[in-house]
Each structure stands twice: as structure tokens, then as C-alpha cells.
């Protein structure tokens, strides 16, 4: 294999796979796609594998946050995918575009071309939404998206309770209006996970102009003055170098992309010098502006038998679920992380929902990153703030590319975040304590009735809430001095280098980030094709 390519894509995650697919369509252009992890994991295609791979060392980077007193000095697990497909190969398979307001905020911040009107055609381009839908949804894209098939009387009871609280049922939360209860749209198709690898790479893996190297850890970008000309990787215990004619696209995600930039000498000089990295280019925003969704999990006992998967998927019941999956592509093994979503307003005067809730028909037990079924029949409700105000950072701790960076999430730093999450917990309690839901569910197992005041609820959040696995913003797009990329995702002050992944988000979108990352990849590829 040659060591020179037209394009080098660093990171085969949701965005990187989309970029590699679109750029390699031109047979006259050669593309190298690099992935630090393996090609795949044998369990990844089974939807429920998100519970098994969420802390698996082969498929997951298994990051942990730096301890912070605002979250009770815990090292919060931060799973990130380490396979071709990135986190889309291990995630909870929930597909959310986000609100119109999210992208209109990006445009209002000076990012031309990123309004909701301008990005939604790229969502349509990637989507093949298999359910009946309006013209607002894509039907010819590479990513098959379906609505969850799981049904439960508890869901219907929640929907009825919602009506009394002026919460509508929403047939399609991705069609422009997000508010309400909804059955989850998923990256599951015919019982199999539709990761970015399956959608974007598997159909084109035999293109002669596309080369894919796995288990290849990028140690740095090679610069000639201010121009990115190649990359250096660690592969099979040896250092290798590859060079590009046109551009390098960083798609390592919100953790790896700023890490690679800093290892390459791009970032804040004091951090680079402290870690014995030569300063190539000063960019104050690299690694800053870290955002993520923080989610406390409320758990309720299910008192009617046969409605919770804590019962249906244990012992002999698991065999039945396996057979149901094998012959009908249904049941527990075919579930996303949450079959029902809620996008709610904690205050009626708000223009759009400020919280998202994942409703899970079993009791989830989280233990230092591992996710298991609890013994007691239950239902779990995870609430998060859509657009948190708190900002953290990610920075290298040494010049060793194999050492994980320090991740300071800084959750709950902003008072609005604290207030919104407390109000979100109180709203969930109204829904789950309603007469309709109480026909099926009983006591609150977590946090429990003894956590009644706002102060108690906030302490529960500090002690127990964990990330919803959506780190973003650490190479943000914008116009201010802390922006890393411009509106075409070019790294400011450097040539031939772009970033395309969740790290470019200037503000966090209202929902799960896999779909928006694929959109960002589609958007980046078009920028490159048009520019060249």
C-alpha cells in the first residue's frame, strides 16, 4: 500500500465513516480511513449489545472523568466506541435530529450554513426512514431508521397522564416539532444494529481507492510550517507515516480530536509546553467548551407481573426472549436503550422542550460503568437537560498518545443546569405518580420518598447522575477567540486540516448525538468536494 493519499480521515466513527464514503465516491481520489480500534465486535449487531459493550475494553475506550466535588468527587464513566463505526457501534441506538432551535442558535452565533433549514436536507440525505412519514424525512439514504416495536400498558398510561399535564403524543419528533411523548426512532433495521460502519463502510469496503487501517493509533499530525501534510501512527508496535495531497479530516470525537491536536502542537501554549510538546500553532479553544448531557435515573417498582423485562428477561425468560429475537426480531434483544422518549418543558412559557427523558421498561443497575438488569421488576426514567450551560475541558496529561487525557466535565457548575434537572425530576414524579401510571407502578425505588426537597433532589443528582454519553464541543465552530474551526470546519490558522465530529458543536443539541454526527460528516464531505 502506498503511503500517500489524497485524503486522510482520522477516526472511523459516525462522522468519519460518512466522510470516507462520500470522498471515496470520486474514483480519482484516494482515501485512507484510520481507526484506533478493531474492525468490529461479534455482538455489536445485536441491539441490546449496548448494555454489554458499554464498558468492554475491546470495544470501548473506557474513559473516566476527573473527580469533581460538584458530582460528589466521582470518576464518572465516559464510554466511547473503539471500533469501526465508533460509538454508533456500541451506543443505545436512539436516533434524534434535535430541535430547529439548536441549529438556528449555531447560525445566530455566526456559523453560516448551519441553520435548521440548511442542515435538515443533510439529515434527509442520510436517512432511510422505513416507517410512513411526511416529506420532511429522508427515504433514500444509507442509514436505515425504524420506530421501536415494543409496546407496554405502562407506556399508554404515561401517555394518558401526559395529556392531563398538556404533554402531547408526538408521532414523529424528528419532523420539526420535538415536544411530547414518542416511541423511539432507532438505528435498528430488521433486528440488527445500523452503525455507521454498516451504513457507510460495509457497502463500499471494496472500493479500490479506499484503504482502511484498523488498530492504528494516531500519535500526531505532521506539519510543514502551518500546512498539514501527513500523520504519524502507532500500528503493530511500529511507527508509520502517511502523507496527503489534499486534506486531513479529524473525526476522532470530542475526546480524541482535541487530544490529537494537542499532541501535534496545536492548542494552548502553556498546556503544550507543560507536556513537552512543541508549539506549532496557538489555538486557545482546543479542548475547551466540553459539554455533555448529565442524567439522574429515577426507578419505580412495577407491581403488575409480566410488564418489566427484569422479569421477562431473566432465567428461562431470557431463552424465550432469545427465540423471540431469532424468529421475530423482537423483544428484549431488539430494544434500544429506551423504547419511549419524552421531550418536555419544565416551564410552560418556554419556546421548546428543555429536558429529554428516556423511559426504560426495566430497572437499570449501573456500577462503575457496567450496566445490568436489577432483580426487582421496575421501570427506569432518565432525565437530562437538553442544552446545558456548564462547560468543562479535555487536555493531554503527557505527550504519550496512549495515555488518556484528563476530562473535566464540570457538571452542574451553572445554576440553570441545577434548577432544570431538579425541575425535571419533579416533572417525572408527577407523571409516574399519576393515577394512570400507579395502576401499574408502585413505590419510587430511586431516589425514594425521603428525597423530597429541592436540596435533597440536587444532592441525589450530585451523588448518582451519570453522563448520557454525548460529549461535544471541544473543537467548537464559531467566530470568537475560543473557536477552533470555521463554518466550513477548517481549523483556524492552518491549511489542509478540518474537524468533523461532535467536537465542532458550539452548543449541545437537544437529544442523542449519533444522528447529528453523521449529518456533520455529510456536511463536511460536501464542503470538501465543493472546495476542491
Structure confidence at residue 28 (pLDDT): 97
Q: What percent of the chain has pLDDT over 90?
A: 96
Q: Are 366 and 297 in contact (CB under 8 A)?
A: yes
pLDDT at 317 over 80: yes
What is the spatial distance between Cα 299 and Cα 364, in angstroms, rounded to a whole number?
Answer: 8
Residue 362 is part of a domain; what is its CATH number?
A: 3.30.410.40
At residue 368, the pLDDT reads 82
| Residue 363, CB-side half-sphere exposure with 13 Å CA sphere | 20
Query: Is 74's pLDDT higher than 90?
Result: yes
Neighbour count for residue 453 (Cβ, 10 Å): 10
Q: Is residue 315 part of a domain?
A: yes
pLDDT digits (tens, 9 = 90+) for 341-372: 999 999 999 999 999 999 999 999 988 888 88
∠ CA 236-240-244 to the nearest 5 degrees?
135
Q: Which residues have C-beta within 8 Å of that of residue 90, sequence separation ≥ 6?
A: 41, 44, 49, 50, 53, 54, 56, 59, 60, 79, 81, 83
For 101-122, what is each residue's pLDDT tens digit?
Answer: 999 999 999 999 999 999 999 9
pLDDT above 90: residue 532 = no
Averaged over 327-347, what is the pLDDT?
Answer: 97
**Does any domain span residue 177?**
yes
Residue 90 maps to a domain: no
* 178 located within any domain: yes
Provide the pLDDT for residue 479: 96
Tell me, yes or no, whether 520 lies in a domain: no
Q: What's the domain range around 419?
A: 149-183+294-385+412-464
Q: Which residues are catalytic?
A: 470
Residue 226 lies in a domain: no
Give me the number of domains the chain comprises: 1
Q: Give the mean model confidence (pLDDT) for residues 445-469.
A: 97
CA dist 213 → 34, 220, 253, 339, 488 (Å): 5, 16, 18, 35, 26
CA distances to 17, 173, 355 from 100, in Å: 25, 11, 15
Query: How does DSSP classify residue 405?
Result: P
Residue 210: pLDDT above 90?
Answer: yes
CA distance 221 to 81: 22
> Is residue 276 within 8 Å of 263, Cβ to Cβ?
no
What percent of the chain has pLDDT above 70?
100
125 pLDDT more than 80: yes
Average pLDDT score, the chain: 97
At residue 133 the predicted structure's pLDDT band, cuts being 50, 70 and 90, is confident
Integer CA distances (angstroms), 197 to 13, 221, 248, 264, in order: 8, 24, 20, 27
10 belongs to a structural domain: no
3-state secondary structure at position 101: helix
Q: What is the rounded average pLDDT of the residues 486-493?
A: 98
Q: What pLDDT, on the 0 to 100 scale, is given for residue 146?
A: 97
The predicted structure's pLDDT at residue 1: 75
Predicted pLDDT at 382: 98
Please report the pLDDT score of residue 367 as a whole number: 85
pLDDT digits (tens, 9 = 90+) for 168-198: 999 999 999 999 999 999 999 999 999 999 9
Q: What is the mean pLDDT of residues 386-397?
A: 98
Which of 5-9, 15-19, 130-134, 307-311 has the weakest average pLDDT? Answer: 130-134
Interatomic CA distance for residues 54 and 66, integer angstroms: 19
Does any domain span residue 424?
Answer: yes
Strand partners, 182: 341
What does the pLDDT average to over 471-476?
98
What is the arithmetic mean of pLDDT over 241-247? 98
Amino acid at each position: 500500500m502506498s503511503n500517500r493519499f489524497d485524503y486522510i480521515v482520522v477516526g472511523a466513527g459516525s462522522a468519519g465513516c460518512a466522510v470516507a464514503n462520500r470522498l471515496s465516491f470520486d474514483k480519482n481520489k484516494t482515501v485512507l480511513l484510520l481507526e484506533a480500534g478493531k474492525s468490529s465486535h461479534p455482538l455489536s449487531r445485536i441491539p441490546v449489545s449496548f448494555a454489554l459493550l458499554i464498558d468492554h475494553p475491546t470495544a470501548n475506550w473506557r474513559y473516566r472523568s476527573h473527580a469533581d466535588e460538584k458530582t460528589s468527587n466521582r470518576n464518572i464513566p465516559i464510554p466511547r466506541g473503539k471500533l469501526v463505526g465508533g460509538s454508533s457501534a456500541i451506543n443505545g441506538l436512539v436516533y434524534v435530529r434535535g430541535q430547529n432551535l439548536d441549529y438556528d442558535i449555531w447560525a445566530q452565533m455566526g456559523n453560516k450554513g448551519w441553520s435548521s433549514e440548511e442542515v435538515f436536507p443533510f439529515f434527509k440525505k442520510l436517512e432511510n426512514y422505513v416507517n410512513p412519514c411526511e416529506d420532511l424525512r429522508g427515504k433514500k439514504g444509507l442509514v436505515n431508521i425504524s420506530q421501536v416495536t415494543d409496546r407496554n400498558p405502562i407506556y399508554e398510561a404515561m401517555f394518558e397522564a401526559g395529556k392531563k399535564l398538556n404533554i402531547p403524543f408526538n408521532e414523529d419528533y424528528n419532523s420539526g416539532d420535538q415536544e411530547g411523548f414518542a416511541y423511539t426512532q432507532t438505528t435498528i433495521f430488521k433486528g440488527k444494529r445500523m452503525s455507521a460502519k454498516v451504513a457507510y463502510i460495509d457497502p463500499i469496503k471494496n472500493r479500490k481507492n479506499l484503504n482502511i487501517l484498523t488498530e492504528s493509533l494516531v500519535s500526531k499530525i505532521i506539519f510543514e510550517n502551518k500546512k498539514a501534510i501527513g500523520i504519524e501512527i502507532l500500528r503493530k508496535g511500529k511507527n508509520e507515516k502517511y502523507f496527503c495531497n489534499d486534506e486531513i479530516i479529524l473525526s476522532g470525537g470530542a475526546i480524541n480530536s482535541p487530544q490529537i491536536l494537542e499532541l501535534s502542537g496545536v492548542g494552548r501554549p502553556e498546556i503544550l509546553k507543560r507536556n513537552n510538546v512543541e508549539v506549532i500553532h496557538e489555538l486557545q479553544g482546543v479542548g475547551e467548551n466540553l459539554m455533555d448531557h448529565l442524567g439522574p435515573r429515577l426507578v419505580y417498582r412495577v407491581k403488575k407481573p409480566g410488564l418489566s423485562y427484569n422479569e421477562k428477561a431473566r432465567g428461562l425468560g431470557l431463552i424465550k426472549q432469545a427465540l423471540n429475537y431469532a424468529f421475530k426480531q423482537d423483544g428484549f434483544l431488539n430494544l434500544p436503550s429506551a423504547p419511549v422518549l419524552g421531550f418536555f418543558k419544565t416551564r410552560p412559557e418556554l419556546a421548546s422542550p428543555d429536558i429529554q427523558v428516556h423511559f426504560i421498561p426495566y430497572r437499570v443497575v449501573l456500577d462503575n460503568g457496567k450496566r445490568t438488569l436489577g432483580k426487582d421488576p421496575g421501570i427506569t426514567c432518565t432525565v437530562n437537560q437538553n442544552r446545558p450551560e456548564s462547560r468543562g475541558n479535555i487536555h493531554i496529561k503527557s505527550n504519550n498518545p496512549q495515555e488518556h487525557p484528563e476530562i473535566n466535565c464540570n457538571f452542574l457548575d451553572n445554576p440553570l443546569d441545577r434548577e432544570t434537572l431538579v425541575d425535571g425530576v419533579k416533572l417525572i414524579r408527577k407523571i409516574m405518580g399519576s393515577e394512570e401510571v400507579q395502576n401499574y407502578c408502585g413505590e419510587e425505588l430511586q431516589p425514594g420518598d425521603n428525597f423530597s426537597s429541592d436540596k435533597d433532589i440536587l444532592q441525589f443528582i450530585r451523588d448518582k447522575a451519570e453522563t448520557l454519553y454525548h460529549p461535544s464541543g471541544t473543537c467548537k465552530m464559531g467566530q470568537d477567540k475560543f473557536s477552533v474551526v470555521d463554518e466550513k470546519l477548517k481549523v483556524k490558522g492552518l491549511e489542509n486540516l478540518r474537524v468533523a465530529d461532535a467536537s465542532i458543536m458550539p452548543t449541545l443539541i437537544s437529544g442523542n448525538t449519533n444522528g447529528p454526527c453523521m449529518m456533520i460528516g455529510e456536511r463536511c464531505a460536501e464542503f470538501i468536494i465543493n472546495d476542491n
